[in-house]
Each structure stands twice: as C-alpha cells, then as structure tokens.
Amino acid sequence: MKELLDYFKANEARYLKELTEFIAIPSISADPARRHDISKTATFVEKQLKGAGLKNVKQYPTKGNPVVYGEWLGAKGAPTVLVYGHYDVQPVDPVEKWKTPPFEMTIKNGKMFARGTADDKGQVFILFKVIEAYLKNTKQLPVNVKVIVEGEEEVGSTNLATFVKKNQRLLSCDTILIADTNMLGKDTPSITYGLRGLTYLEVAVTSLSGDQHSGTYGGGVANPIQVLAEMLVQCKDPKTSKIKIPGFYDDVVQLTRKDRAELAKIPHDDMHYARAIGATKTFGEKGYTTIERTGARPTFELNGIWGGHTGEGVKTVLPASAHAKVSMRLVANQQPDKIAKLFIDYFKSIAPDTVKVDVKLYDNNGHAALTPLDSPAMRAAASAIKKVYKKDPYYTREGGSIPVVADFQQLLGVDAILLGFGLPDDNLHAPNEKFDVSQFRAGLATTMYFFEEFAKTK
Amino acid sequence: MKELLDYFKANEARYLKELTEFIAIPSISADPARRHDISKTATFVEKQLKGAGLKNVKQYPTKGNPVVYGEWLGAKGAPTVLVYGHYDVQPVDPVEKWKTPPFEMTIKNGKMFARGTADDKGQVFILFKVIEAYLKNTKQLPVNVKVIVEGEEEVGSTNLATFVKKNQRLLSCDTILIADTNMLGKDTPSITYGLRGLTYLEVAVTSLSGDQHSGTYGGGVANPIQVLAEMLVQCKDPKTSKIKIPGFYDDVVQLTRKDRAELAKIPHDDMHYARAIGATKTFGEKGYTTIERTGARPTFELNGIWGGHTGEGVKTVLPASAHAKVSMRLVANQQPDKIAKLFIDYFKSIAPDTVKVDVKLYDNNGHAALTPLDSPAMRAAASAIKKVYKKDPYYTREGGSIPVVADFQQLLGVDAILLGFGLPDDNLHAPNEKFDVSQFRAGLATTMYFFEEFAKTK
C-alpha cells in the first residue's frame, strides 16, 4: 500500500488542478439556466472515470440530468462495491456573503474554499483518484467497483430511483459506499450507520363554511384553531414526548446495548448543544439521550401552523379552518406509508364532531436506513479508519434523511456505508463552503484501505 | 299623539327626499379621499338639526371628523335623553356586487337600498324627524333632548371618548338612546340590553434563536408550535369550554333568572343556527344556551395562529417561534385591563422552561355594557315598542362590542338604551345594504312613544 500512498503524495498537485477544473463548472441543478454546465460537468466526470481506467463508462440519460456510470469488474471472486456520489451543487445565494469567488478554488490555511468542495465534488473526486491509483500502479483493484455519479442530488434525486430500478442488474453489488457525508471532527473520525426516514403531511381542521365575526359567533360554535391545538396535543405527550399514535412504535428497531454504548461515546454536551441554537435546554423523549433522540428515535414535529388572522393588528375573526404541517422522522424499520396511515386514522379518530378533518400526504416520504454495526462493510470501514486516523471511529446516526440511501438498500438488497470526509464546519448549502485538504488526503488513504479490507470479507 | 302620527304620514315623501340627499353624500370615513364628503355630510346634519328646531346646533371639531351637536332643553323638570348616531358610512367594496348604485337611494318592494340606509343615516334621520315633528306641531318635546352625531363610528370612534370626556357637563343626561342597532325581526321587535367587551392580545412562544432543520434537531429541543398548542389548550377546557385563567370569572355579572327567561323567549333553533354558517352543531360553555353563550357569557377565542412553514409543499423546518392572536369577549363587570393581566400572568405561568413567552396587548379594548331590564329607560322603550308593534319586545344581548356605549355609560354615569330598527338581513358592511320602509315608519312612531313614556319616569 506504500506504493499507492506515495503515488497520492506525488500526484497531489495534479489532483488539486483537476479538482479545480471540476469545481469551476457551476453545475447548480436547481438553476435551469445551468443546464449546459450540468452537461459539461457530466462530461468531465465521464472523462475522469475513463481516465481512472474504468470500463463501460457511459452517461445514462434520465428525465432530468444524466447519471454517469463506470465499472471495473476484474477482481474475480472478490466482492463488488457500488460507489455513489453526485456532481451537481447547491446554488450560491447569497453570493455577497462569499469571501472568495464561489466557483474559483481558493486554498487557504489548508482549506479548499469553493462551492462543491465538500458537497460533493471533492468527495466523489477522492473515489476517482483511488481507483486511478490502483489501476495505474497495480493494474487492478482488490474489489470489483461500480461507480454512479448523479446530477440531481441537490434537487431531491428525482430520477435516481427510476434509474436504479431500471438497472438493478447492472448495479448489483455487495455493498454501497456513499461518499457524501461528514465526520464528527478531524480527530474524531466517524461512520454514519443510520439515517432517519420521513413522512410529511398537512392537516386542515374546518368548523365553518366561511370566516365569521368572533363577536357574533364566538362562544357558540367550535373554534378550529382551538380544536387543532387540542388534537395536536393528543399526538404527543407534553411531558414524556412519547408519540401517542397507536402502533407508531411497533416496527421501531430498538436500540441495542451496543448501539447505546457506541452513541454514548460521541463527544457531546447538552448545554453547549442547546446554547448553540439559542435553546434554554434540550428537550425530548423520556428515557433517551439527545444523541439518541435526534438520530435513533422517531419524532413527531410540527413544521408549520396557520389559521385566521396572521397579519398586523387586530381582526376579530372566528376562522373557518386551521392548518398544520406535520412531519414524522422515522427509524428502521418504520414504513413511511404505514406510519402516515396510522397518523391519518388516529388524527381523524380524535376529531370532535364539531369539525371536518382533511389530511394531505406529501410524497416526499423516505425510508430510514440502518446498517448493522457488525456487517462486513462496516467492519471494513472501521479498520480503514483506524489505519489512517490511528483511532477507532465513532458510530453516528444522522437525524436527517437521504432517501436515496434507503432506495439503494431496498432496490439492491445490500447495506450502505456512509463513509464521508466532510466536517461539521464545511458550510454545506451556505456561503464559503470548504473542504479540508487534510481530510481530502485522509479520504484517499481511508478509501484505499476500505477496498483492501472489504476484499477480505468474501 | 295622533297629530304627530298624521304628520309623519303626510310628510313621508319629503322625509324620503331628504334622506335620499343625506345618503347621496359618500361619507366613507375609512377613505381619506372622502374628507370633503365627510365635511359636506356634517353640514347636512347640522342643517337637519337646525331645521328640526334644536338650539345651540354646532359642529365640534375633533382630531378627526367633527361631531355635530344640538339640544332642546325646554321641558322643565322632565328627564333628558342624549341621542347618539353617526353620519359616516362603510366603504362599498366590492362595488361590483351592488345591484343598484351604492349612493343612489333605490326603493323597491318596500326596501330602501343604498349604503347608509340602515347603518346609520336612515336610523339617525328618524331622530331628526321625530324631534322636528314635535317642535313643528306642539312647539315642545316631552323630554329634554341632546343630540350628538359623530363621523368616525366606522373607523372605531377614535376621537369620541375624548369629546365626551371634554364635554361631560354639556352631555349630562338621564339616559342615552343609541340609534344604531337591529331588531330580531319585523314581527319580533327587540331591545339590546347588553354588549360584550373585548380584550385582544398577541402571544409569541420562542424556543430557538433561529429556524433549524427538523432532521438535525427534531426530537432534541422543544418545538414552539407544539408548546404553543399545549399552552392554548390549558386556557380553555376542551370539554366544558370553561376558561381556565384563574380569576377570569370573578367579576362576571351572573345571569339572573329573569335574564335567562327573557333570553329563552328569543326565537332560536340551534340546528338552523349552526347550518347557516356551515357548522355541524353548536358548541360552547357547558350549562348555557347558544344565545347565552354568544351574548351573555365571556369567551376565549383564537383569532389567528402562525409559525414555521405556512406556504405550499414541504419544508422540514423546526421553527424558532410560534404566534397566536387571542381575544376574550367580556361581559359586565369584567374590566378589560384586569382580564388582560390575568391572562398574561397565567399564560406566562404555564410556559415550560423550554420557551420564552412574549405577550403584546392591543389597545382595542372595550368594556362590556349592560342595562338593567327594569331601568326606567328600558321600561319606557318596552312600552313604546308595545304601542307600535302590538307585542312585548324580546330582550337581546349582542355578542359584539360597541365600545362607545360603555364609554358613554362610564363617563356620563347613566344607562344606554339600544333601540334600533335595523333587521338582520340589512347587509350592514356589505353590498346591497337596505333599510325597510316599514321599519323606518315604525321607528318614527316608536321613538316618539319612547320620549312620551320616558317623560313619565321622572
């Protein structure tokens, strides 16, 4: 492996030059005016994959932006790793907050500043270079590799599930390596082994056919805001934060002793955590720590509420209806559709006979993802981290959702490893995005070791 | 009295001609472009009062529109009636919904259609003509009369309380006759003997210094919408609708047996009432009828609520704060300021330590008004109605607020009589406002008899 590590070092200047070109194309998927740049970036990725020595490199058109694919299947008998990343980036607004031009790579104090350095061009580029290093130096990889790089991650990966569904055979593999996440810190390397799912709904509680005067009718008929508040309070216990929807917890994979022990190791201070977001204290489900509550336990959250007079001043209206946006973060093995149905049934069942309830289910549902801590890929990733960082990784669970991970797991039937080298202060989706050069280097070495270690598992 | 009744009949054509002129001036107080018309209307009223034979007729300037005053104090030893009405009108939007021009009197099927016919030009005009009839025919009135006609009722009577405060001596009287209300129906004459007061507040519940991602922080800190809902539910019992603010009911003048008996006589059908506004059923404070709930009992109503994502689609935000507009309708002898303070203290006391609570009190407060059913003026009004309508009046309590009534009562220390001849289908504040000619006629006769009957009480 020394050969490759030396190669990484010897070629770093070239890497950064190529990455600078990759970064320079403003492939903002949310901006229709950037379609040409999207196309240019897909072509850049195609060239990188070819240059790395992959075979059957090809752009697969979708209804949106193309998916770029490449493979190397020369490791007879060895396992296959499907590698995922994306070449599109977030918009750069507010552009005036950037200290350096967003699409011009600026390296300062060991940090690469530009849109896409961490999310995700810089990270996916690590994979290109690890593959290249193997194939240039040893003419082979320890594992079979399939790479897909999509161009719509920042707009919801709209067409990726269809692509995966259509190409299940092409994409068949033993594990999926997602190169699009963070670590806890430079000195606290970590692997994300769980993501929460999501179901998102909108409710409307209506008591009248139109707004009325609260002087004339106030006290004589139900107030829909009051009823909505009463119903929402019946969904979650105010004291324990236990969700009161019958059956809600039925499919939850409970935290094991091992899970709790791993999560407890993560450096965390409740007071610091609360103060950082202006909260007086943490608050959540009884019996769980903040890290468990935000990563490993499901939630019931109100994302919005509205009804009646919401403008300036006084209007003595008795509104006809009141509305709320309700979302539930899910953990394995909760099924979004099933949970949505449980909520709808319960919410309608608790409605008093003074109101009509309408519920709209949004299709932004996502499944939770959970990779067993003792799975072969997870063990390979841990060994790789230990070799590079000289310490065991922390195991984290992300509170947010990356629906594509669950889609991959479900469609391809294998575990996903979220081995990313971003850091919490990378300013993803914000001005002055950056990626640490030291993490880029560590990423090259760790990914190389991951391939080595994973090869041993079959 | 026959003499006057004959005079009313003989002069009706002239009355309607004059009222048509009164109506034709678009005295919309909410429209700054109508200042000249306001002034023209005040001058019209001044001429009417002079023409009726009143003395010391004068426009009193205020910070807003002038108050027109006139008096006749020739009834030595007789009681004094202060008569109140207003010469300004509501806007006419949406003007395209009017079937006839809003400022052109159109008489059709015994109804006068135009803005201001019922609210309040047509009603205050009745008073002008009753006074005129007395002074033209008998050279005297049975009571002393003071008339004030203001020009800002439709914009909150902003400057009237100051005018009354400044001129308490000028306005001293034995009762106040408010000519600006409705009856239950043509065949169900009624007198309003109570109005509710109001206190209106805005609350904000804040748990974070800024919006956060509900994936990352959901479950780890308090959700302000959830907390707001929990706090609002603690303000009113969901089952009994009893308001749970300690001390809230302390000063409430309880309904007497006589009150309840009178209110129970009012023709009312719960199912019809609910269906008319699209409600499945009536709902309110346990132990009271709908008429009592909406007129004679205080309420706690949510007039608005907002927080987080209230637009289209999905946004997985954990909002920093949530807000509500809260109003309480009050009954005698609840003091708006005291009730507001009770609410604020209670609302802050029930806040969990995860949130900060801010409360803003609007100064649109109004006192409730209640005139004893057995007061001399009330008995005089009842006798007058019986003479004209050939039946006893119903006694009603309005759920809304006319703050000026309580201002009058408090500043002048006498009871107010709300003897109005509008009908519930008059389309006040809406297109196609009308006033029934038969109610105009009945108004002339009833007001005349009221003066006669009230003269007997001193």
* Domain finish residue from A331, A361, A391: A361
On whether both A6 and A150 belong to a single domain, the answer is yes
| Residue B215: pLDDT band with limits 50, 70, 90 | confident
Expressed as residue numbers, the domain containing A211 is 197-252+298-361
Residue B272 included in any domain: no
Please determine, for residue B383, whether its predicted confidence score (pLDDT) is greater than 90.
yes
On whether both B101 and B245 belong to a single domain, the answer is no
On whether both B426 and B328 belong to a single domain, the answer is no
* Domain finish residue from B338, B361, B384: B361
- Chain A, nearest residue to B212 by Cα: A277
On whether both A440 and A326 belong to a single domain, the answer is no
Q: How many domains, in total, are found in chain A?
A: 2
Q: CB-based contact (8 Å) between B111 and chain A?
A: no
A69: which residues sit within 8 A by CB, 6+ positions away?
A49, A56, A57, A58, A59, A60, A146, A147, A148, A170
* Domain finish residue from B306, B326, B361: B361
Residue B269 included in any domain: no
Distance of CA A304 to the CA centre of its chain: 22
- Chain B, nearest residue to A209 by Cα: B278
Q: Where are the alpha helices (DSSP H) in A138-269?
A: 160-166, 214-217, 224-233, 257-265
Region B415-423: mean pLDDT is 95
Region B428-440: mean pLDDT is 94
| Residue A313: pLDDT band with limits 50, 70, 90 | confident
Q: CB-based contact (8 Å) between A158 and chain B?
A: no
Taking only the tens place, the pLDDT of each residue in A98-121 is: 999 999 999 999 999 999 999 999
Residues B422, B184: Cα–Cα separation, whole Å: 9
Query: What tokens appear for B96 in the block?
Result: 């395209």
Q: What percent of chain A has pLDDT over 90?
A: 90
- Chain B, nearest residue to A198 by Cα: B215
On whether both B387 and B319 belong to a single domain, the answer is no
Name the minimum distance, in Å, from the CA of B193 to any CA of chain A.
15
Task: Give which of B303, B310, B331 to mutate to test A binding, by max A Cβ within 10 Å.
Answer: B303
How many Cβ atoms sit within 10 Å of the Cβ of residue A222? Answer: 26
Residues A232, A204: Cα–Cα separation, whole Å: 12
Contact B283 A324 (CB under 8 A): no
Contact A226 B302 (CB under 8 A): yes
On whether both B39 and B115 belong to a single domain, the answer is yes
On whether both A416 and A325 belong to a single domain, the answer is no
Q: CB-based contact (8 Å) between B327 and chain A?
A: yes
If DSSP codes are grouped into helix, strand and coil, which group holds residue A78?
Answer: coil
Residue A327 included in any domain: yes
Chain B residues 275-294 with a CB less than 8 Å from chain A: 277-285, 290, 293-294
| Residue B189: pLDDT band with limits 50, 70, 90 | very high
Q: Which residues of B touch A356 (CB under 8 A)?
A: 280
Taking only the tens place, the pLDDT of each residue in B151-164 is: 999 888 889 999 99
Residue B276 included in any domain: no
CATH of the domain at B92: 3.40.630.10
Contact A222 B283 (CB under 8 A): yes
CA separation (Å) from A201 to A370, A443, B93, B154, B235? 24, 39, 37, 42, 27
Question: What is the 3 state secondary structure string of chain B?
Answer: CHHHHHHHHHHHHHHHHHHHHHHHCCCECCCHHHHHHHHHHHHHHHHHHHHHCCEEEEEECCCCCCEEEEEECCCCCCCEEEEEEECCECCCCCHHHCCCCCCCCEEECCEEECCCCCCCHHHHHHHHHHHHHHHHHCCCCCCEEEEEEECCHHHCCCCHHHHHHHCCCCCCCCEEEECCCECCECCECEEEEEECEEEEEEEEEECCCCCEEHHHHECCECCHHHHHHHHHHCCECCCCCCECCCCCCCCCCCCCHHHHHHHHHCCCCHHHHHHHCCCCCCCCCCCCCHHHHHHCCCEEEEEEEEEECCCCCCCCEECCEEEEEEEEEECCCCCHHHHHHHHHHHHHHCCCCCCEEEEEECCCCECCEECCCCCHHHHHHHHHHHHHHCCCCEEEEECCCCHHHHHHHHHHCCCEEECCCECCCCCCCCCCCEEEHHHHHHHHHHHHHHHHHHHCCC
Name the minimum distance, in Å, from the CA of A33 to any CA of chain B.
23
Task: Give which of B199, B230, B305, B327 to mutate to test A binding, by max A Cβ within 10 Å.
Answer: B305
Residue B291 included in any domain: no
Region A165-172: mean pLDDT is 96
Residue B447 included in any domain: yes
Residue B268 included in any domain: no
On whether both A178 and A191 belong to a single domain, the answer is yes
Mean per-residue pLDDT over chain B, rounded: 95
Is the pTM for the entire model greater than 0.95? Answer: no
CATH of the domain at A221: 3.30.70.360
Q: Which residues of A touch B353 (CB under 8 A)?
A: 280-281
Q: Are A253 and A370 in contact (CB under 8 A)?
A: yes
Q: CB-based contact (8 Å) between B324 and chain A?
A: yes
Contact B317 A329 (CB under 8 A): no
Residue A285 included in any domain: no
Mean per-residue pLDDT over chain A, rounded: 95
Name the minimum distance, in Å, from the CA of A31 to any CA of chain B.
19
On whether both B355 and B374 belong to a single domain, the answer is no
Q: CB-based contact (8 Å) between A240 and chain B?
A: no
On whether both B84 and B145 belong to a single domain, the answer is yes
Most confident option among A56-60, A316-320, B31-35: A56-60
Contact B196 A209 (CB under 8 A): no
Q: Between vectors from CA B69 to CA B64 and to CA B73, what angle results, nearest 5°?
A: 160
On whether both B396 and B321 belong to a single domain, the answer is no
On whether both B46 and B63 belong to a single domain, the answer is yes
What pLDDT score was predicted for residue A263?
Answer: 96
CA separation (Å) from B185 to A258, B113, B267, B385, B447? 77, 18, 10, 13, 17
